[in-house]
Amino acid sequence: MDDCIFCKIAFGEVRVPRIYENENFFSIKDAHPKVEGHSLVISKKHFKNVLDMPSSLGTELIDCVKNTYAKLGKELKCEGFNVVSNNFKAGGQEVNHVHFHILPRKEDDGFRIFVNK
């Protein structure tokens, strides 16, 4: 996908430091962090959204989530995290290349996402 920013980052055409990577996923810091350490787990292949991504990649996806949080957790001394995936325009998706937000959390940090009570 020529005009896809996450494909450009995946192929190294746009150089961004990687937090962690495995065969099918990598993680980077979000350019516009909502909380300290806000990061993205991104598929190396261009799938538009979660529905477009093969279910067989689930194990590697979770591996990338866990290892990304392990590195962020150490760096930031955070105490928890949220994983968020926006899908389709109505779901708030702006970059149409499947990705998962990792939002590090601390007790009483005041940050709220809409699924919070």
**Is 99 an active-site residue?**
yes
How many residues contact Zn ion, by CB under 5 A?
A: 6
Query: Taking the mean position of all CA atoms in its chain, how far away is CA 80?
Result: 15
Sorted by sequence, the CB contacts under 8 Å of residue 9 that are 6+ apart come out as 16, 28, 42
Q: Does 49 bind ligand 5GP (CB under 6 A)?
A: no
* Cα 84 to Cα 1, 3, 31, 115, distances in angstroms: 24, 24, 16, 10
Site for ligand 5GP in 58-97 (CB under 6 A): 86, 92-95
State whether residue 42 is helix, strand or coil.
strand
Residue bearing tokens 């292949």: 45
Where does this chain touch ligand 5GP (CB under 6 A) — which range of 22-30, 46-54, 58-66, 68-76? 22-30
The least distance separating ligand 5GP from the CB of residue 11, rounded to whole angstroms, comes to: 13
| Cβ-contact 109, 76 below 8 angstroms | no
Q: Does 28 bind ligand 5GP (CB under 6 A)?
A: yes
Query: What is the binding site for ligand 5GP (CB under 6 A)?
Result: 5, 16, 28-32, 40, 86, 92-95
List the catalytic residues: 99
Q: Which residues bind Zn ion (CB under 5 A)?
A: 1, 4, 6-7, 46, 97
